[in-house]
Amino acid sequence: MTSPASPDPFEPDAADVRALGHAATEWIARHFAELRDLPVIPDTTPAAVFARFAQPLPEEPAPWPALLERFEREVAPASFHLPSPRYFGLMNPAPLPIAVFAEALAAALNQNVGAWHHSPAATAIERTVIRWLCDLAGLPAGAFGSLTPGGSLANTTGLKIALAAKLPRTIREGVWGLERRPVLYASAEAHFSIPKSAGILGLGSAAGVRTVPVDASSRLDVAALRRMVATDRAAGLDPFCVVGIAGVTSNGVIDPLDAIADAARDLALWFHVDAAYAAGGLMSDALRPRFRGIERADSITMDPHKWWHMPYPCGAILTRDGEAGRRAFAADAVYIPATDDAVEFRDHGLAGSRPFSALKLWMAMQLVGRRAYGRHAELQVELTERFARELTKDGDWEVVTPIDTAIAAVRYRGRSADAKSRGGSQLDSLQDRIVSRVLARRRWWISPTTTVGTRAIRVMVISYLTRWEHLQELIGELREAAATL
Ligand SMILES: Cc1ncc(COP(=O)(O)O)c(C=O)c1O
């Protein structure tokens, strides 16, 4: 980076700000250009990185060029390059450059989108973006919601709204006064934020969540759900909500949302869909039928910082009844001026002060457009299907669960003679050893998982830079690892 003189931090003139911005922009542009070649995993350890950044509280100012230089010299090289095309990881995307710069613009305006008064345009833009997400899901005109710092907090927000809607007494009195214990239902494949949210809501992360079995495809068993709710009601529990998943974390599978919606209707349960990852697939005309039933949800979690390629944070909670969020969260704030006909986003969720996260999504959705976003999602699903076909064609690898989105859960089963001589637990540990060997090379990132009771290897196409050649390279590495171990 070039090193212009450091401005007074509290009194920068326009030339100082411009120089700072140019230097940062220069680095960002170079970083995007180099991403394809960078190793995914940095060569560091917790001890090394903690030691490098341990430093006393700064008493005196440092020139900002030195800070940017240190960022380039020490921070970036010790960073995990999840936007890499060889990151086949969790649901962390490569951010779109437009969204990276939108974050800087939003920070410059520093709107507080908790209060309309402090964010007129930002509130209007968040309202529009929420409308777009509701339209994608097929929710009715009265639906509404808010952006959240991610899918976990969207789930917490959604489940709080569900509890408040089904048991309004809990809004003021909590769960103390209830005669029957409220419980929610989710499959064994649900994301950890579901039990965590139940814990935060006072239901208990274990006692508050009833685990519904899944079928061999990892989809929630709706008949079992119906039986469990009947038995639990007879036993004195108070079932109030069922969670369907669109894009299981371990394998990307989509639950039978329409059948869950039927059950929720028959059993008078709130229907929450955790579509944190897969909701991006709703932008594709070809993929949308896989989500049939999502339009019947009472609440939906979406995470634009997954398939929309937003930098963190950008999650969303949507509710069919657009007032449900306000009923759960509205609180008195005598010090904030009231404005008729405004939307006060702090009343729709957990946060008071809220960032202008909508700007990046608003800009990106206009820049890319729904169709191109949709085609991109299709392309990633096709790459994943092709990866699975190619890896399994010799019979020594298998696909553990169906490929509904851009995640493949695969397993090495060994050559037939081999497979017979190895026990199941030996094969399980082999999956972990294959992953460890691939990670040790630092060039790719994949992860182990357990789904439908089977130890597997999870490979996800999430970076928009990933091409077939990157997956071919991974297949070679997986085969070599399996042959060597
Ligand atoms: C199904 C599902 N729900 C929720 C989340 C949580 O999202 P976040 O990491 O944004 O909190 C994830 C994250 O991977 C997920 O896979």
pLDDT, tens digit, 9 for 90 and up, residues 242-275? 999 999 999 999 999 999 999 999 999 999 999 9
Question: What is the structure's pLDDT at 43?
Answer: 93
The phi and psi torsions of 462 (rounded to 5 degrees) equal: -135, -25
- Model confidence at 421: pLDDT above 70: no
pLDDT in tens, 205-229: 999 999 999 999 999 999 999 999 9
Please say whether the beta carbons of 114 and 148 come within 8 A: no
Size of the chain, expressed as the number of residues it contains: 485
Closest C-alpha among 297, 285, 308, 307 to residue 358: 308
Q: Are residues 355 and 417 in the same domain?
A: no
Which range, of 120-134, 139-153, 402-416, averages the lowest pLDDT? Answer: 402-416
Question: What is the structure's pLDDT at 3?
Answer: 47
Q: Give the CATH number of the domain where residue 466 resides.
A: 3.90.1150.170
- Quick one: which H or E segment has residue 451? strand 447-451
Measured from the CB, is residue 245 less than 6 Å from ligand 1?
yes
Q: Could you tell me if residue 1 is inside a domain? A: no
Closest C-alpha among 426, 434, 334, 364 to residue 115: 334
Measured from the CB, is residue 308 less than 6 Å from ligand 1?
no
Integer Cα distance of 103 and 476 in angstroms:
38
Q: Could you tell me if residue 4 is inside a domain? A: no
For ligand 1, mutation pick of 155, 257, 273, 277 (most atoms within 8 Å of CB): 277
Measured from the CB, is residue 303 less than 6 Å from ligand 1?
yes
Mean pLDDT of 25-45: 95
Integer Cα distance of 43 and 46 in angstroms:
11
- SS3 state at 232: helix
Measured from the CB, is residue 157 less than 6 Å from ligand 1?
no
Pair type for strands 299-302 and 397-399: unpaired
Measured from the CB, is residue 148 less than 6 Å from ligand 1?
no
Question: What torsion do the CA atoms of 172, 174, 176, 178 make, to the nearest 10 degrees?
Answer: 80
Measured from the CB, is residue 249 less than 6 Å from ligand 1?
yes
Q: Are residues 129 and 253 in the same domain?
A: yes
Please say whether the beta carbons of 426 and 417 come within 8 A: no
Q: Could you tell me if residue 297 is inside a domain? A: yes
Ligand 1: centre distance to CA 316 (Å): 11
Closest C-alpha among 323, 296, 278, 274 to residue 154: 274
- Going by pLDDT thresholds of 50, 70 and 90, the confidence category of residue 238 is very high
Q: Could you tell me if residue 99 is inside a domain? A: no
- Going by pLDDT thresholds of 50, 70 and 90, the confidence category of residue 78 is very high
Question: What is the structure's pLDDT at 331?
Answer: 86
Q: Are residues 308 and 386 in the same domain?
A: no
pLDDT in tens, 426-435: 899 999 999 9
Total structural domains in the chain?
3
Question: What is the structure's pLDDT at 5?
Answer: 53
Ligand 1: centre distance to CA 420 (Å): 38
- The label of the residue with tokens 């371990």 reads 250
> CB-based contacts of 313: which residues, under 8 Å, 6+ apart?
148, 149, 150, 305, 355, 357
Q: Are residues 165 and 249 in the same domain?
A: yes
Closest C-alpha among 448, 415, 414 to residue 431: 448
- Model confidence at 2: pLDDT above 90: no
Number of H helices, E strands in the chain: 16, 11
Question: What is the structure's pLDDT at 352?
Answer: 92
Mean pLDDT of 289-305: 98
End-of-domain residue from the set 318, 343, 370: 370
End-of-domain residue from the set 370, 400, 416: 370
Mean pLDDT of 80-92: 94
Question: What torsion do the CA atoms of 265, 303, 193, 433 make, to the nearest 10 degrees?
Answer: 120
Measured from the CB, is residue 189 less than 6 Å from ligand 1?
no
Ligand 1: centre distance to CA 336 (Å): 33
Integer Cα distance of 99 and 390 in angstroms:
34
User: For residue 331, what are its two tokens?
Assistant: 């609180």
Q: Could you tell me if residue 90 is inside a domain? A: no
Q: Give the CATH number of the domain where residue 24 resides.
A: 1.20.1340.10
Q: Are residues 203 and 335 in the same domain?
A: yes
Which range, of 98-112, 179-193, 329-343, 471-485, averages the lowest pLDDT? Answer: 329-343
Ligand 1: centre distance to CA 301 (Å): 9
pLDDT in tens, 308-365: 999 999 999 999 999 999 999 988 888 888 888 899 999 999 999 999 999 999 999 9
Ligand 1: centre distance to CA 152 (Å): 6
Beta strands in 267-327 (DSSP E): 270-275, 299-302, 315-319
Q: Could you tell me if residue 34 is inside a domain? A: yes
pLDDT in tens, 191-210: 999 999 999 999 999 999 99
pTM of this structure = 0.96
- Model confidence at 420: pLDDT above 60: no
Integer Cα distance of 82 and 312 in angstroms:
12
Measured from the CB, is residue 277 less than 6 Å from ligand 1?
yes
Dihedral sign (CA 445, 449, 451, 454): positive
Q: Are residues 75 and 169 in the same domain?
A: no
Closest C-alpha among 1, 88, 73 to residue 41: 88
Q: Give the CATH number of the domain where residue 295 resides.
A: 3.40.640.10
Q: Are residues 119 and 242 in the same domain?
A: yes
The phi and psi torsions of 298 (rounded to 5 degrees) equal: -85, -30
Please say whether the beta carbons of 433 and 485 come within 8 A: yes
Q: Are residues 479 and 404 in the same domain?
A: yes
The phi and psi torsions of 313 (rounded to 5 degrees) equal: -100, 150
Q: Could you tell me if residue 19 is inside a domain? A: yes
The one-character DSSP state at 42 is: -
End-of-domain residue from the set 343, 370, 397: 370
Q: Could you tell me if residue 39 is inside a domain? A: yes
The phi and psi torsions of 394 (rounded to 5 degrees) equal: -90, -5
Measured from the CB, is residue 244 less than 6 Å from ligand 1?
no
Q: Are residues 114 and 244 in the same domain?
A: yes
Mean pLDDT of all residues belonging to the chain: 95
Structural domain harbouring 350: 105-370
User: For residue 374, what are its two tokens?
Assistant: 């949709």
Q: Are residues 237 and 110 in the same domain?
A: yes
Q: Are residues 438 and 295 in the same domain?
A: no
- Quick one: which H or E segment has residue 184? strand 182-187
User: For residue 292, what are its two tokens?
Assistant: 């049939």
Which range, of 9-13, 159-163, 205-209, averages the lowest pLDDT? Answer: 9-13
Angle between helices 358-368 and 370-392 (to 10 degrees): 80
Q: Do you find a cis peptide bond into 313, omega within 30 degrees of 0?
A: yes
Mean pLDDT of 295-316: 97
Q: Are residues 247 and 305 in the same domain?
A: yes
Closest C-alpha among 242, 222, 255 to residue 402: 255
- The atom number, within ligand 1, closest to the CA of 90 reads 14
